[in-house]
Structure 1
Amino acid sequence: MYTTNKKIIVAATAVAMGVNVANAYAETQGNQAESLEVDSVVVKGILPDRLETVPGSYSVVDEKALNERRPFSLQEAINNVPGVHIVGENTFGLGVNIGIRGMDPRRTSRTLLMEDGMPLFLGPYGDPSAHYTTPIERVQRIEVVKGSGQILYGPQTVGGMINFVTKPVPKNGFEGSVTGMVGNNDFTGFAANLGVGGEQGGIMIDAIQKKGDGIRKNHDFEMRELMVKGQLNLTESQRIIAKVGYYEENSHVSETGLGAIEYAQDKYQAPTGKNDRFEYERKSLQLQHIFDINANTTLTTNAYYVDAFRTSFRQINAPGTISGSPDIQTGVSVMDRCQSLGPATVANAAQCGGRHRPRSYDYYGFEPRLDIKHSLFGIESSAVVGFRYHEEGNKRQQFRDADPRAQSLSYAKAFGDFREDIRIDIEAKSYYAQNTFYLGDWTLTPGLRVEDYKKKINVLQAEGDPQGFAKTNSQTVWLPGIGTTWNGIANTTVFAGIHRGFAPPRPSRDINFDDLAGLDAISSTRAEESTNTEIGVRSSYFKGVGFEATLFNIDFDEIVIQRNAGDFINAGKSQQTGLELAARVDFGRIYDSPHNFYIAGNYTNLFTAKFKKNTDETTGGNRLPYAPRDIASINFGYQHPVGINARIGVDYVSQQYVDPDNSTVESLDGQEGRIPAYTLLNASVNFKPVGSKLTYFMSGHNLADKEYLISRVDGKVAGRQRQVFAGIRYDF
């Protein structure tokens, strides 16, 4: 892998080359502008300008919807999107778990997350874990795409993708906002957005800080982010947009849950929470050069670089279990480094060490993309052609020690048991092309994406064994797709599409820790591929009424499941089939009244989510883990012309299985058994007096303070208790 400095230079050079080529082209055509007349700063997302031509299902949570809902975090912002299932293991969505259409939501590994088109994962190919998402205060809108339009992006395309579109740089002088928030559970938050801009471009700064208590006791957290975004209008047809960001998080979060007995005693306890912690630091750079070659052709060159470091410390590795051979389940957790101290308590946790897992990640890439409007075949068309080069590196280490001084990472590194040192390097090239033919009321959009990647796993140390071994694998995958739309009825689109989905194998899952000296010390978990089909309709034909209905089917090949803790295998084929419904009725628009009562809701019926044919013939026909059959929400709201916007809503999630065997009897470690259905009540109110620059708001989640189980991935984890917060925002 390149050094950090070289990667930054390469990223900047990619954009600079685009600028130079663009300037040369403009000069030869005599198009160099004598004065800059940039009419507006348009915030571009991953969806095209002509939304009626999108040949698949999508949802847009725009600025108006975000203000209406006043989400506490990303989790509340998108849990009304049909097909989306969120497992909220923590209060503030710092490590989100999002599943789309029956996909396993764990760390959002099968849903592509992006910010302004740039991947957000720890490692997009090597470790697609969502330990970071764009803070909601920086977001102008959220795009969720589930149809065949996914082939323009990657590498995760089996379920869907979510793009956070950030606020644009101001263009009319000094603009911005300041927001202060306070709530129960010791929550406080502050966000400032300050920017200035004009004809030549501008600059904007976002500063955010939040802190508070988590779901369980001793689970306090604090996060800070600083983002600088700038735009330089080189000519009337060219502009450069740059973002530089720094994010840090410090949380006392126990990654393990509770055993069945201790959960029954106090579901919100975290005996080792004062010592357990998760620390995360992320630095990012994104450069974009946009060149409008002419009215029909735009060349966009993107370059990005991310450097991230995360480390976690925990004292309990197997909840509800005494670690041994075999493990003995007791329902009460014991610290794996200090079993002689007995069940974990706040007092004896202070006398023990634990395990540290520091990991560093870096990746960079550059992507030129050409958008062309043409009639090459005698048919009005728009085409997208692009290429992306991407490299990433991952260094994973682990240290263990029972000495209480080993709660410090520096001590553990110097004196602890050095258990793991694994290096993963990935090189990926992506090619894509898509063309939309406009055929009267019809559109036809065929496309193709090619993923060509190579991964290298170098195990320097594993389970304390210093003998090293390495393995290199490469693969080329062709991912075609085609979709169509019909717009023969006013404000109505009927769509259908089919595409191949792809999720690359995660190298960290390929190490056989039980047979480090064997021939299969590094196995090869095969890539997951899918065939995604859907047909649907979206319409606003009737005044004040909007709705969408989509029938979808996903046939999954070589689905990867977690057989045991840390043990992943390909489990054959699976199928997810379901119906998504979403609608909103605004009675104020229907009756031309300034007083608007509205009803908005969505419903997902995942009536099939099963293993079809699996490798060990034990789970065929069973339901997929964390794939609830029914997800629904309904909201009732009122908007008053004096500036009041109030809403109350109900969210429902049906019962779920949590393992491939569909266990119904709870195990003492809490990792087997069902998750019962739950219903949550939430509400929000905003008041912005007419002509005022101040907005007053209040939002509440789980207002009935319902106690419910949310996850069994690593022991039992309770869902969030009642959370209410209020704030004031000043716009200038």
Structure 2
Amino acid sequence: MIKKPMMGMAAMILVMPAFAAELASQQDTAKATPGDEQLLTDKVKVTSILPDRLEAVPGSFNVVDEKELKSRQPFSVREALNQVPGINIVGEDAFVLAPNIGIRGLNPRRTSRTLLMEDGMPLFLAPYGDPSAHYSTPLDRVSRIEVVKGSGQTLYGPQTIGGMINFVTKPVPKEFQASVMAIIGNNNFSGGHVNIGTGGDWGGIMLDAVNRKGDGIRRNHDFEINELTLKGQLNLDDRNTLIAKVGWYEENSSVSETGLGLVEYNEDKYQAPTGKQDSFNHTRKTLQLQHIFQVNDKAKLSTQFYYANSERASFRQINDPGGLGGRSEMDRCAGVVATEANSAQCGGRWRPRDFDYWGVEPRLDISHSLFGIESDAVIGFRYHKEDQNRNQYRDGNPLAQSLNWAIANGSHREDIRIDVEAKSYYAQNTFYLGNWSVTPGLRVEDVKKRTNIARAEGALQDIQYDNNETVYLPGLGVAWNGIANTTFFAGIHRGYAPPRPDRDIAQNTLGDVVASRTKAEKSTNIEFGVRSHYFKGVTVESTLFNIDFDNIVIGTGDGSGRFINAGKAQHTGLEIAGRVDLGTVYDTPHNFYVSGNYTSLFTAKFRNSRTIVDEDGDVTTDSFDSGNRLTYAPKHIASVNFGYQHPVGFEARIGVDYVSKQYADNTNTTAASLSGLTGTIPSYALISASASYRPIGSKATFFVSGHNLGDKEYLASRVDGMVAGRQRQVFGGVRYDF
């Protein structure tokens, strides 16, 4: 049952079309001019999560635009975002196929605490039930990347603790345009991108085709991705626009989610004993529809519908890295060491999972002065529905390396259905008071989750349970622009990450399957900062932030995959970033520049001690003390780049990225265990460089880019055993624009 505040907001949303139409009638009659039609057409803008008036944004944000993406030629999303302060990306695979992005010290595992979006549409397997990232928008289709970390998250959800990353795709063209790009590099890397589109006053249509393939970090970890995207826009009249986007994505890789034991890693950190049999197959189909009613120059009513279907099936043969004295054990062949020869003679475990979600979201953006104060308001509502079907099959027979055989003949170990219904209501108003802007907002999340465990650990079950809640997430931000080209800002908002049903399923020491029902993570987020380009050719920003968790969720650390609420935790740090363009400072077409960012996460700790026991309460599985540092929260992250831009179209850059030591477990163990799961992750620094040349008057651009040029060997993760970071990767290519 929806509570009264929700009913009020829902009623407000239901009358939005009538309110917008009435406003249009009144203001058009009073203020219509001959140029209104063109002005209204130009106001169609629905893909950004940042407002037009950036100086009024009461929180920290960063934008990586298309110019910078072309200049840096990032190999993956990891290189695209390493210039954004506060971000830590753990690279477990060569091309970041499954992004691990952490913001401000939050655990980066599968980006589950950072809201990933494309044109405002969530990208996770299941945004509420399983917010795991196994996909990010290929950079070939991106016009800019928006990163929002502070106040202003009221309008989006459900993950509002760490921040949001929105990939804004290229708009459909207003006339014919096309481009072709081909790239090639070491590690058998190659790829291509084709973009073709046309348009006019009626709208436009555009097709993108992307291919990438190559070898992984470890041997036998090759990968290939393919994607087709069709995007269209239809201008029905001067006020109504339809935008549609259809996408198909496929990943076929041999990247296993398991790492190496200590002995294996020391012998050869790039080996993958079961890589020839392991696989990860992912197919993703999406549809996004948007209708924009441009009421007038001051009001816009946009309605978005989205749908996504993901089918992923992973096969692996190791579930106990380092379990045999530092060497990994074949999962379905007990006592057999994992080697390439042994893997061919053994089966393993398949995890086919299907995810469907869809949603509809009307939103009204309006500039007004209803309170006698110039204001921008946003009112919106979203209905979201998702379904998960999680299965698992195991067998020791080598024929089980075929999914079809495993389904027909293997042991059906898991059959779990999860349904989620979520209603989100939000309202925000920005008041402009001279040099001040004040932005209060409120988001309400009403979430209902039902889990049906039909089979677990091979046994038939009949367990059903609900996990429902309604949360209120207020926020308040203030910005002051009393100094030219400078904004001082401060904000506070309530963060929220809903409970994940897939984390609520555990097995106690008696072998019984139980529902642990973790509670939602909630936090209070505060930040103070300044961004400025007061001095010609110089941009700087700095933000002091603090995140206080009420009930942080962590893994138990016993290898069971179980999660619990661990009480209070705190993240406090300072972000600094800047850039100096000497060409702008001295008014010369030859531009030498330096850019960099630094994050000091001086606090990332538990604020209470706890002993973790199994569900039956008898066996201690882990413990941590107040003051222990949180996992995968490096104290220092830094990046610096030096570059040169020549007026003939040549540009070159060299840079260094640094990440300090990290802990991999809650007890802050320093010595490496035989399993590889515990121990520190040492600090590392990586060198990168890029260069591009587009001759004046030419339609061709030539580029080369290199990452980890020193070919440094380093440890990237211990989540499922020890995983090495990517070796040297160099690639070059050409792009031709028609």
**Equivalence map 1:171-320=2 (5 Å):** 171=174, 173-320=175-322
Give 1:569's aligned residue.
564
Q: Deviation per CA, 1:73-97: give whole Å up to 9, x if none.
A: 1111001100000001111111010
2:682 partner SS: coil
- How far the C-alpha of 1:516 sits from its partner, in A, is 8.1
CA distance in 1, matches of 2:43, 2:689: 36
The alpha-carbon deviation at position 177 of structure 1 amounts to 1.1
Aligned to 1:75, what secondary structure does the other structure show?
helix
Note if 1:581 corresponds to 2:581: no
Q: Take 1:555 and 1:34, find their aligned partners in 2: how far apart are those partners?
A: 51
1:625 corresponds to 2:618:
no
- Amino acid of the residue matched to residue 596 of structure 1? N
Between the aligned partners of 1:562 and 1:132, the Cα distance in structure 2 is: 23
Counterpart AA for 1:506: R
Distance 1:490 1:407, change over 3 A: same
Under a length normalisation based on structure 2, what TM-score does the superposition of the two structures give?
A: 0.93
- Equivalenced residue count is 707
Q: CA deviation at 1:338?
A: 1.2
Question: Which residue in 1 is equivalent to 2:606?
Answer: 611
SS in structure 2 of the partner of residue 467 of structure 1: strand
Query: For residues 432-465 of structure 1, what are the alpha-carbon distances to aligned partners after superposition, in whole Å with 9 as ceiling and x for unaligned?
Result: 0000000000010000000000000000000011
The aligned residue for residue 619 of structure 2 is none
In 2, the alpha carbon distance for the partners of 1:78 and 1:176 equals: 27
Shift of 1:619: 2.4
* Cross-structure match for 1:543: 536
Match of 1:600 in 2: 595
Does the aligned pair in 2 maintain the 1:104–1:625 contact within 8 Å?
Answer: yes
Distance (Å, rounded) in 2 between the aligned partners of 1:314 and 1:619:
35
Quote the offset at 1:637 in angstroms.
0.2
**CA–CA separation in structure 1 for the residues paired with 2:368 and 2:455:** 56
1:477 aligns with 2:479: no
SS at match of 1:705: coil
Q: Which amino acid aligns with 1:586?
A: D
In the alignment, structure 1 residue 497 sits paired with structure 2 residue 463: no
SS at match of 1:288: strand
Amino acid at match of 1:672: T
Q: String of CA shifts for 1:148-190, please: whole Å, max 9, x gaps.
A: 101110000000110000000001x211211000000001100
Is the CA contact 1:259–1:331 (under 8 Å) kept in the aligned structure 2? yes
Query: Which of 53, 57, 63 does residue 56 from structure 2 map onto?
Result: 53
Is 1:446–2:416 an aligned residue pair? Answer: no
Q: 2:551 corresponds to which residue?
A: 558
How much does 1:24 deviate? Answer: 11
8 Å CA contact retained: 2:478, 2:491: yes
Corresponding residue SS for 2:583: helix
Instruction: Give the distance between the partners of 2:434 and 2:408, measured in 1 at CA.
Output: 71
Distance 1:208 1:701 in 2: 21
Q: Would you say the 8 A contact 1:85–1:99 is kept in 2?
A: yes
Alignment-mate amino acid for residue 646 of structure 2: H
| One-letter amino acid of the counterpart of residue 394, structure 2 | R
Q: Hey, what does 1:364 align to over in structure 2?
A: 358
Matches of 1:636 and 1:294 in 2, distance apart? Answer: 46
Q: What pairs up with 1:616-695 in 2 under 5 angstroms?
A: 616=611, 618-695=624-701
Quote the Cα distance in structure 1 between the aligned partners of 2:199 and 2:432.
38
Deviates more, 1:41-50 or 1:631-640: 41-50
Which residue in the other structure is 1:416 paired with? 410
Structure 1 match to 2:111: 108
CA deviation string 1:499-534 (max 9, x = no partner): 00000011011112226876x811210000000000
Which residue pairs with 2:616 in the alignment? none
After TM superposition, give the deviation of residue 345 of structure 1 in Å.
1.2
Pair 1:512-2:492 in alignment: no
User: How much does 1:468 deviate?
Assistant: 1.5
Q: Tell me which residue corresponds to 1:384.
A: 378
Read off the aligned partner of 2:648 and give its amino acid letter.
Answer: V
Q: Any idea what the Cα deviations from partners look like across 1:321-349, whole Å, max 9, x if unmatched?
A: 14xxxxxxx10012011135x32111111
C-alpha contact 1:596 1:638 (8 A) present in aligned 2: yes
The residue matched to 1:697 in structure 2 has which SS?
Answer: strand
Q: 1:292, CA displacement in angstroms?
A: 1.0
Distance 2:17 2:231 in 1: 19
More off after superposition, 509-518 vs 160-169: 509-518
CA pair 515-383 structure 1, distance change in 2 beyond 3 A: farther
CA contact (8 A) 2:505 2:562 kept: no
- Please say if residues 422 and 447 of structure 2, whose CA atoms lie closer than 8 Å, have aligned partners that are also in contact: yes
- The verdict on how the C-alpha distance between 1:201 and 1:343 changes in structure 2, with shifts beyond 3 A counting, is same
Structure 2 counterpart SS, 1:608: strand
Indicate conservation of the 8 Å contact 2:17/2:301, yes or no.
Answer: no
Q: In the aligned structure 1, how far is the partner of 2:42 from the partner of 2:526?
A: 40
Contact 2:592 2:645 survives alignment (8 Å): yes
Question: What residue number does 1:131 align with?
Answer: 134
The farther-off stretch of 642-651 and 612-621 is 612-621
Q: Partner residue of 2:169?
A: 166
Q: Could you tell me how far apart the structure 1 residues matched to 2:17 and 2:345 are? A: 59
3-state DSSP of counterpart to 1:337: coil
Q: Return 384-393 or 564-573, whichever deviates more.
A: 564-573
Letter in 2 for 1:186: N
Identify if the C-alpha distance between structure 1 residues 307 and 157 changes in structure 2 by more than 3 Å, giving closer, same or farther: same
- 1:613 Cα deviation after fit: 1.7
Residues 254 and 276 of structure 2 are in contact (CA less than 8 Å); yes or no, is this contact kept in structure 1?
yes
Residue 194 of structure 1 and its aligned partner are, at CA, apart by: 0.6
Does the 8 Å CA contact 1:36/1:235 hold for their aligned counterparts? no
Closer, same or farther: CA 476–516 of 1 in aligned 2, 3 Å: farther
Aligned residue for 1:8?
none
1:66 corresponds to which letter in structure 2?
Answer: L
Contact 2:46 2:302 in 1 (8 A): no
Given that residues 44 and 292 in structure 2 are in contact (C-alpha distance below 8 angstroms), is that contact kept between their aligned partners in structure 1?
Answer: no
Output the CA distance in 2 between the equivalents of 1:449 and 1:43.
20
What SS does structure 2 have at the residue aligned with 1:130?
coil
The answer (yes or no) to whether the contact 2:172–2:206 under 8 Å persists in 1 is: yes
Q: Which amino acid aligns with 1:539?
A: S
What is residue 6 of structure 1 aligned with on the other side? Answer: none
Asked if 2 retains the 8 angstrom alpha-carbon contact of 1:177 and 1:192, the reply is yes
Distance in 2 (CA, whole Å) between partners of 1:131 and 1:665 is: 31
Asked if 1:525 corresponds to 2:518, the answer is yes
- CA distance, structure 2, for counterparts of residue 34 and residue 441 of structure 1: 30
Aligned-partner residue type, residue 626 of structure 1: Y
Following superposition of structure 1 onto structure 2, how do residues 719-730 of structure 1 map, counting pairs within 5 Å? Answer: 719-730=725-736
1:42 positional shift: 4.9
* 1:64 match: secondary structure: helix
CA drift of 1:727 comes to 0.5
Q: Decide whether aligned partners of structure 1 residues 550 and 410 sit closer, same or farther in structure 2, where only a CA change above 3 A counts.
A: same
Per the alignment, residue 615 of structure 2 pairs with: none
Q: 2:334 aligns with which of 317, 330, 339?
A: 339
Deviation (angstroms), 1:35:
12
CA–CA separation in structure 1 for the residues paired with 2:610 and 2:525 = 22
Q: 2:92 aligns with which of 83, 89, 94?
A: 89
Q: Secondary structure at the match of 1:186?
A: coil
| Amino acid paired to 2:638 | A
Gaps of 5+ in 1: 1-16, 323-329
